[in-house]
């Protein structure tokens, strides 16, 4: 099963927040964001990534978006880390790199980022990267953690997995999940 993420419109809420933080009279001031991003302000770096990702007020440039996501992600910005997971996984603005994608997914997931947790479930369900085989146990665990973090789509994946797994596999996944919860 192949999973694709729509790449337009997902950053709209973030774009709106950027307009509030770095705009004037409802208009985005790209020059100000660029200046603040170059100065190292992580929110400005993330906003610049969003602007280039969406192509709003600038020419869409996913490679520039990836550069700014990387700068913000390296400073711990969770949404930037999640987007790096997606960009590296799908090869958008960067060369596809399964290990980089998995690294960024796990980094955001450690901080309980719901979309990153769901993305990790997809990793294990889809068998991406070096491991081309489905790992039902880990997929179940990550989708369950995504649901606990507020991602409702994980519930559908859990139901799908429960139709594909044996009762013993489901029991094992639930035991592992219980042991790994705080």
Q: Is the pLDDT of residue 59 over 60?
A: yes
Give the number of C-alpha atoms closer than 13 A to the C-alpha of residue 122, restricted to the C-beta side.
23
Residues 6+ apart with CB under 8 A from 72: 42, 43, 45, 46, 49, 80
**Which has the minimum average pLDDT: 49-63, 68-82, 125-139?**
125-139
Work out the mean pLDDT of the chain and round it to a whole number. Answer: 88
pLDDT single digits (tens) 15-39: 888 887 887 777 788 888 999 999 9
Which pLDDT belongs to residue 149? 95
pLDDT single digits (tens) 169-181: 999 999 999 997 6
pTM: 0.86
**Domains delineated in the chain:** 7-111 (1.25.40.10), 112-182 (no CATH)
Confidence of residue 101 (pLDDT cuts 50, 70, 90): very high
Q: Is the pLDDT of residue 116 over 90?
A: yes
Q: Is the pLDDT of residue 6 over 50?
A: no
Any idea how long the chain is? 182
Residues 6+ apart with CB under 8 A from 136: 124, 125, 161, 164, 165, 169, 173
In whole angstroms, give the CA distance from residue 55 to residue 65.
10
């Amino acid at each position: 099963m192949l999973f694709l993420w729509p790449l337009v419109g997902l950053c709209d809420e973030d774009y709106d927040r950027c307009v509030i933080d770095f705009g004037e009279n409802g208009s985005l001031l790209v020059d100000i964001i660029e200046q603040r991003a170059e100065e190292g302000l992580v929110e400005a770096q993330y906003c610049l990534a969003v602007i280039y990702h969406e192509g709003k007020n600038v020419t869409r440039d996913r490679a520039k978006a990836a550069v700014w996501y990387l700068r913000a992600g390296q400073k711990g910005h969770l949404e930037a880390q999640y987007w790096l997971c997606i960009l590296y996984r799908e090869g958008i603005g960067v060369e596809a790199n399964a290990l980089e994608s998995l690294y960024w997914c796990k980094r955001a997931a450690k901080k309980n980022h719901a979309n990153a947790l769901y993305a990790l479930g997809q990793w294990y369900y889809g068998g991406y990267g070096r491991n081309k085989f489905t790992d039902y146990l880990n997929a179940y665990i990550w989708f369950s953690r995504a649901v606990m973090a507020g991602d409702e789509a994980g519930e559908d994946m859990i139901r799908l997995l429960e139709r594909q797994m044996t009762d013993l596999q489901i029991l094992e996944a639930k035991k592992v999940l219980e042991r790994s919860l705080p």
